[in-house]
Amino acid sequence: MAVQDEYILVTGGAGYIGSHTVIELINHGYKVIIVDNLCNSCYDAVARVEFIVRKSIKFFKLDLRDKEGLAQIFDTFKIKGVIHFAALKAVGESMKLPLEYYDNNICGTITLLNVMREHRVKTVVFSSSATVYGDATRFDNMIPIPESCPNDPTNPYGKTKYAIENIIKDLHTSDNTWRGAILRYFNPIGAHPSGLLGEDPLGIPNNLLPFLAQVAIGRREKLLVFGDDYDSHDGTPIRDYIHVVDLAKGHIAALNYLNKINNSEGMYREWNLGTGKGSSVFDIYHAFCKEVGKDLPYEVVGRRTGDVLNLTASPNRANSELKWKAELSITDACRDLWKWTIENPFGFQIDNYKWKLFNTLGIMDYKNRLHTICFQDLEVSIANYGALVQAVRYKGRNLVNGFNDFSRYKLKENPFFGATIGRFANRIANGQFEVDGHLYTLCKNENNKTTLHGGNNGFDKQFFLGPIARQYEDYNTLEFILVDKDGNNGFPSDLETLVKYTIKNNSLEIEYKSVIPEYSKLNVTAVNLTNHSYWNLASPNKTIDGTIIKSTTNVYLKVNSETSLPTGDIVEWQNDITKPTKLDPNISFDNCFIVDREASKFCLDTRKYSLKNIVEVIHPSVPVKLVVSTTEPAFQLYTGDGNDICEFQSRSGFCVETGRFINALNNEKWSKQVILRKGEVYGARSKFSLYAQDLEENKHFLDSASYNSGEYY
Amino acid sequence: MAVQDEYILVTGGAGYIGSHTVIELINHGYKVIIVDNLCNSCYDAVARVEFIVRKSIKFFKLDLRDKEGLAQIFDTFKIKGVIHFAALKAVGESMKLPLEYYDNNICGTITLLNVMREHRVKTVVFSSSATVYGDATRFDNMIPIPESCPNDPTNPYGKTKYAIENIIKDLHTSDNTWRGAILRYFNPIGAHPSGLLGEDPLGIPNNLLPFLAQVAIGRREKLLVFGDDYDSHDGTPIRDYIHVVDLAKGHIAALNYLNKINNSEGMYREWNLGTGKGSSVFDIYHAFCKEVGKDLPYEVVGRRTGDVLNLTASPNRANSELKWKAELSITDACRDLWKWTIENPFGFQIDNYKWKLFNTLGIMDYKNRLHTICFQDLEVSIANYGALVQAVRYKGRNLVNGFNDFSRYKLKENPFFGATIGRFANRIANGQFEVDGHLYTLCKNENNKTTLHGGNNGFDKQFFLGPIARQYEDYNTLEFILVDKDGNNGFPSDLETLVKYTIKNNSLEIEYKSVIPEYSKLNVTAVNLTNHSYWNLASPNKTIDGTIIKSTTNVYLKVNSETSLPTGDIVEWQNDITKPTKLDPNISFDNCFIVDREASKFCLDTRKYSLKNIVEVIHPSVPVKLVVSTTEPAFQLYTGDGNDICEFQSRSGFCVETGRFINALNNEKWSKQVILRKGEVYGARSKFSLYAQDLEENKHFLDSASYNSGEYY
């Protein structure tokens, strides 16, 4: 029997601290399941965690109070322990909505503990708060605050944390095999150094640094400093600010600590997670201004009710028992926060971007989503599955073949609709290649002889991680990433591939970047990437016949008619396709045209080259022109003859598959186009530009004898 | 539009304090809905409350955490306020099962408050406990304990009460139109003075008096006194014991107080409910021994951990603000507890008695139950509906016609199977009668001319309250009660009727007692009660033909063949039925036989007379003899000719309907049998005895020429 994977269940794993902790868990070799009701967070944070750790993470959108749903997760997976973040967490809000806080936090926890007990999972790390101490200054000499400081929370939020600590404590008293670690956070700040993950507060931020960050990017006018007449070095109150990554690591320390306890034994223990160093409001203000590079506006106003001079942790217990210590500075936190802020000025969610689950009926699988992003006239929908382009809507008209029903993409008749093709687009003769004296045998998925489009489990059949959606002034981008495993389809080496879609007003640009990651055992592989969108300017429900196509090149790779593989000769096409050519059933293409006979000039990473127009397409009845440009040396022109799937028949769309020469891998002259070694980068760019032009202009296009070569941009 | 009834919802209303509070609520004119999950109580307590208050109470078996179910109640009924008792309540158990306590108590309350808020019900009286104070002796001069004593509960039970107080308090802070009354109980003791209701602890009682009571009736060996070396007058610790009826009244005071607040205003306030007088363990011991009439065994053992000298309430706040004060003494409590204990030595549930819901599919209506009680060879099933006898199983053989499916009893063809017949059994000529010069017109439910069996909404169509089940050495009893409203079917005056079934090894005795209650506006009515069981000794699926019947009387009331009403003549029956008579289709009975020609000797309450045998029945193929005896002057002998309902056809059973003379009401000589005035009692007894006798004895019965008259008992 196979050993079942053991997981750490992270509740609230989509939240600020939860998501950072998931990264640390995965970095420490734990497998993670995230449960989050997303009531105050978004799945995009999880997608970014996956992007950062380059791994898919099991995610369930679930409220902890849904006992049946939760039990199902425990039934399905072997859960070893739980880190429990899920909670509403705003002090002020808790005073306005106490019932929601008590319900969500306490009942959620009780349900969780019940389900854990029913499944004999008795290890829990609980996300508590220094709020349970209340005003520690009510005692003499209680700063820095030790865990022994009596509890007296002063608001519903703090009372829920206090109640939950007690529940876990009483549970341990009743059954001492329970292992409960209570982590009392002080003031978490900062963001992930990648700039991909950080705090994304809804509404007006309650905390100092998120507020300052919004002032820095102009979302808020000025910082309000509540009192500068405290007995501190600069008159502002002192708190213990801790970098969220340090805080996250505290959870790993606590979990490891609990896991070291003998099986039959339990424990219950509280630990402060703080730095032990207090910083004043002005300390933080100055540190952040330094990162931003300018003095931010602020105004000193009166003290806030309930504020006290100093709430600094004594982290001694965690330092000595958990062997954990905060290592990052206020400066680190300010730098990471500023990077997060400028790279994501509106947090995870950007305008003009939305996504939905792209699942077959009844399945709720978050790795399978469909993302729609638009910029003015252009709206593009892209799925995680194959990072495929499901729709390209220009001025409301969809110009590519695609399905609304995900299950159709899984049909074996699917001719790679819109998909990213990799690790190796087009054909590899005999499904094998030799490099450095080693012969690699691949998945021969075409007639049991040839490898087509990377094999049976190509990029088109895998779920890409991400995307990272970003918003810029002139465009928006979506970045997906895929880790194709060493040995998949027979290819050597792990391969990380970034696919970046840039959506402008009238163009969709696709950028590919592949590298063999450091951790890969092997050091070499073969890469050739393209996108397999079927275009149809007139109507996806009709054939492309009547479409007029014009190319900048008329040379192509001659192929052996039996094997469809190149002979090595570069020859002229039978007709001059640099002249407008009207497609009809007698004109079929499935040929690799060569942009430049001097292929030797092409390197592995063509991204630095400027885009060259290669194909220009119109349809007499449609006021749109498509221009395809690329940095690549070749493109397969394909008219989709013989396709037959659902509403799409033969010749429903044509493809312009930019890329390297067919079978370059097995051709001495060409193989440098496609052999990638560790430390090198494979890269490419291709662009599909769309122009509104009226039907008169279309006629002119037909009449034009010559073609204006060169870049549009 | 009719004014909708307003209800007080009582959660945990089947429990010790809840049930006593329901009585006080109803006594104070409130309408009540009880919600209870019965996890630590039983519906029998509710049935007894109904019996005590003579009213049906809406009851829903529901866990408060079932939000949908709870919301449905709030959707259906207009709830004005909630008294919230529902909770697990044992300190020791809470330390063993903390999660169950937190879940049930806190999550239950949160769900309740959520549903209340959604239905804009914002008045709640919460059942808290002095446990929230923890050890008040940790402070100087804190005895008697005021509400201002800081809280510090020391066990999960107390922590749940503390958390809930906080939830209600924070809810009021967030929305000051909430009205929350927190009642902190000290030590509730005693029972309802009726002897019908009291504490029914499962397992070993945790509290002093319930334990003492079990010592008194021999269920426990001796009382353990935990320490006699405290600094009190007798060395035992001092507590504030409060009679449960006083405590219950405190809730009414709090509810009235909240209701007096202006509509737009709210409040949150805690009140101690205690007497302010401390009693030592020995004080209580002596008081209870005095009631029992003997010194009960006890042993002084060591102090219990956590016990302190004195926990006495300061009830000043409740006294002055709620105008409420405990009025009953320790002596009262001991007397009531002792009455409850001796009358219900095993609490609500007795051996050989069980009940189930007797509802039509999909309905969960607790007023409609089927009770089965047995004593050795005899098992009888009786429904609340009509207090009807559904089955009489003697040595496993059912001897009466009855349905397993309740809905069949509601069919219009149902010929009163097993039902209690009232307010007036048999026929009333012209559906009217005159008394004290006033003519009363009744429901003429037979051919629009005559009143039969009390009219369309007779006792047989009403749900009786109760039963009270009691266990004795030689028999068990079930008591039902019905309040038939003034004007129902046209009869004057309210009428309370008790139907008591006594089940012995071989007999079912039915006792009737009716009175016009004090509160009735009118002072006179007419009563004639009987039971309408159809007997069939051979098999309920066959006819009674072949059955042999013998009577002690051969005179009957001659009737007008057209009206079926007596002419006034008492005459001999055509054949001598004092001789064994074998029933066959040609021998039909539907006649009122007279036990004694001298009917004038009969008074309203015949219960004091000894039972006279009236009919003796066997079937040659069945080893059972039925003997019917009564204190009544007459009986209708009926062979069920023409009946046709479901599996029961004509002559499926015969009835011996003991009672008064037909239409006695309209006969000057006989009317004193049936006219009841306020202050008088209508009473009657009838008994169905069963004897095992072998088939040889049956033959002898047939052969016997003479009949041995007289009583069997």
- Given an 8 Å threshold on Cβ–Cβ distance, is A173 in contact with B103? no
- Band (pLDDT 50/70/90 cuts) for residue B349 is confident
Pick the CATH number of A353-426+452-700 from 3.40.50.620, 2.60.40.10, 2.70.98.10, 3.30.70.100: 2.70.98.10
Q: Quick check: B138 contacting A, CB < 8 Å?
A: no
For residue B95, the chain A residues in CB contact (below 8 A) are 170, 173-174
Q: Give the Cα separation of A254 and B351 in Å (integer).
A: 55
Q: Quick check: B173 contacting A, CB < 8 Å?
A: yes
**Position A212: which residue type?**
L
B562 with B455: CB under 8 angstroms? no
pLDDT, tens digit (0-9, with 9 covering 90-100), for B59-99: 999 999 999 999 999 999 999 999 999 999 999 899 999 99
Chain centroid to Cα A87, Å, comes to 24
Tokens at residue B81, please? 């306020």
> Does the annotation list A638 as a binding residue?
no
Q: Give the Cα separation of A133 and A153 in Å (integer).
A: 6
Name the average pLDDT for chain B. 93
pLDDT of A702 reads: 67
pLDDT of B703 reads: 63
Q: Quick check: A99 contacting B, CB < 8 Å?
A: yes
- Band (pLDDT 50/70/90 cuts) for residue B696 is confident
Which residues are B184's β-sheet partners?
A: B128, B272
Q: Average pLDDT across each block of 10 residues of chain A; the chain has 713 residues. List them in order.
A: 84 98 98 96 96 97 97 97 96 94 98 98 97 92 95 94 98 96 97 96 87 94 95 96 98 97 91 97 97 96 88 97 98 97 89 93 91 96 98 96 96 96 94 95 94 96 97 94 98 98 97 97 97 92 91 93 86 91 93 80 87 95 95 96 93 96 90 95 98 84 48 32
Our CA-based measurement puts residue B646 at a distance from the nearest CA of chain A, in whole angstroms, of 44
Instruction: Identify which of A257, A284, A106, A100 has the alpha carbon closest to the alpha carbon of residue A183.
Output: A257
pLDDT of B705 reads: 39
Q: Quick check: B171 contacting A, CB < 8 Å?
A: yes
pLDDT of A351 reads: 87
Q: Count of CB atoms within 10 A of residue B407's CB? A: 11
Query: Quick one: which H or E segment has residue B514?
Result: strand B507-515
For residue B156, the chain A residues in CB contact (below 8 A) are 166-167, 170
Helix (H, G, I), strand (E, B) or coil at B157: helix
pLDDT, tens digit (0-9, with 9 covering 90-100), for B357-383: 998 888 889 999 999 999 999 999 999
Tokens at residue A166, please? 């007690």
pLDDT of B505 reads: 93
Q: Find the CB nearest B97 among A97, A156, A174.
A: A174
ipTM of the modeled complex: 0.85
Q: Give the Cα separation of B344 and B213 in Å (integer).
A: 11
pLDDT of B165 reads: 98
- Given an 8 Å threshold on Cβ–Cβ distance, is B167 in contact with A99? yes
A30 with A8: CB under 8 angstroms? yes
pLDDT of A213 reads: 95
Nearest CA in chain B to A161: B163
Q: Give the Cα separation of A537 and A654 in Å (integer).
A: 10
What are phi and psi for residue B73, nearest 5 degrees?
-65, -45
pLDDT of A204 reads: 85
> Does the annotation list A29 as a binding residue?
yes
- Given an 8 Å threshold on Cβ–Cβ distance, is A102 in contact with B117? no
Q: Quick check: A174 contacting B, CB < 8 Å?
A: yes
Tokens at residue A548, please? 């007029």
Q: Find the CB nearest A110 among B97, B103, B113.
A: B103
Q: Quick check: B595 contacting A, CB < 8 Å?
A: no
Q: Quick check: A567 contacting B, CB < 8 Å?
A: no
Chain centroid to Cα A310, Å, comes to 40
Pick among B122, B152, B174 to test the A interface (most A CBs inside 10 A): B174
Q: Find the CB nearest A99 among B95, B117, B156.
A: B117
Q: Say if residue B153 is preceded by a cis peptide, omega within 30 of 0.
A: no
> Does the annotation list A12 as a binding residue?
yes
- Domain borders along chain B are 7-343, 353-426+452-700
Pick among A174, A175, A177, A305 to test the B interface (most B CBs inside 10 A): A174
Instruction: Identify which of A103, A143, A109 has the alpha carbon closest to the alpha carbon of residue A128.
Output: A109
Fold exhibited by the domain B7-343: Rossmann fold (3.40.50)
pLDDT of A4 reads: 81
pLDDT of B599 reads: 57
pLDDT of B377 reads: 95
- Band (pLDDT 50/70/90 cuts) for residue B693 is confident
Tokens at residue B521, please? 């506006």
- Given an 8 Å threshold on Cβ–Cβ distance, is A170 in contact with B163? no
Q: Tell how strand B223-226 and strand B298-301 pair up.
A: parallel
pLDDT of A711 reads: 34
**Position B203: which residue type?**
G
Our CA-based measurement puts residue A115 at a distance from the nearest CA of chain B, in whole angstroms, of 11
Our CA-based measurement puts residue B137 at a distance from the nearest CA of chain A, in whole angstroms, of 19
Tokens at residue A467, please? 């995307």
Which of the following is catalytic: B251, B532, B619, B700? B532
Region B171-184: mean pLDDT is: 97
Region B442-457: mean pLDDT is: 94
For residue B111, the chain A residues in CB contact (below 8 A) are 103, 107
> Does the annotation list A26 as a binding residue?
yes
pLDDT of B454 reads: 95
pLDDT of B581 reads: 93
How much of chain B is helix, strand and coil, in % rounded to 5?
25, 30, 45
For residue A106, the chain B residues in CB contact (below 8 A) are 102, 106-107, 110, 163
Tokens at residue A217, please? 């990017």
Q: Find the CB nearest A170 among B98, B110, B166.
A: B98
Our CA-based measurement puts residue B220 at a distance from the nearest CA of chain A, in whole angstroms, of 28
> Does the annotation list B570 as a binding residue?
no
Q: Indicate if B371 belongs to the active site.
A: no
Nearest CA in chain B to A117: B99
- Band (pLDDT 50/70/90 cuts) for residue B697 is confident
Q: Between residues 262 and 321 of chain A, which touch chain B (CB distance below 8 Å)?
A: none
Our CA-based measurement puts residue B49 at a distance from the nearest CA of chain A, in whole angstroms, of 33
Our CA-based measurement puts residue B239 at a distance from the nearest CA of chain A, in whole angstroms, of 27
